[in-house]
């Protein structure tokens, strides 16, 4: 799984999160997003190729993905509690993190 593949999973699973009314399906989609975001942390975007692992930019890349993972966990908590509307509301915040990440690293 490369970074593009991780991003494609994020995109597809987010669409499921936004439209499903099935608790198990939503929990699965959010879990898939969590796995993809964690995997993305092990990849290097082209823009950061050659940057040392401890550089400010690489750290910021990881921090942006950790922010997304934290938001996914908040949504997962709600979904697991059966609050699908709340989980969807929380998932609206993913887009801002996505846009931030893309502006800086895509």
Are 97 and 68 in contact by the 8 Å Cβ rule? The answer is: yes
Name the closest residue to ligand HEM (Cβ): 101
Q: Does 4 bind ligand HEM (CB under 6 A)?
A: yes
Are 30 and 13 in contact by the 8 Å Cβ rule? The answer is: yes
Find the DSSP H helices in the chain.
Answer: 3-19, 23-40, 56-80, 84-91, 94-105
Binding mask 74-103 for ligand HEM (x = CB under 6 A): --------------------x--xx--xx-
Binding mask 6-35 for ligand HEM (x = CB under 6 A): -xx-xx--x---------------------
- Distance (Å, rounded) from C-alpha 72 to C-alpha 91? 7
Query: Which chain residues interact with ligand HEM by CB under 6 A?
Result: 3-4, 7-8, 10-11, 14, 45-46, 61, 64-65, 68, 94, 97-98, 101-102, 105-106
């Amino acid at each position: 799984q490369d970074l593009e593949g991780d991003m494609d999973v994020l995109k597809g699973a987010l669409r499921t999160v936004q439209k499903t009314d099935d608790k198990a399906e939503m929990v699965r989609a959010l879990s898939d997003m969590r796995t993809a975001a964690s995997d993305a942390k092990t990849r290097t975007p082209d823009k950061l190729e050659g940057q040392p692992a401890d550089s400010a930019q690489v750290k910021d890349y990881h921090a942006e993905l950790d922010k997304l993972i934290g938001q996914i966990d908040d949504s997962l908590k709600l979904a697991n509690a059966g609050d699908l509307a709340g989980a969807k509301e929380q998932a609206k915040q993913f887009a801002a993190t996505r846009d931030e990440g893309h502006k800086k690293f895509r």
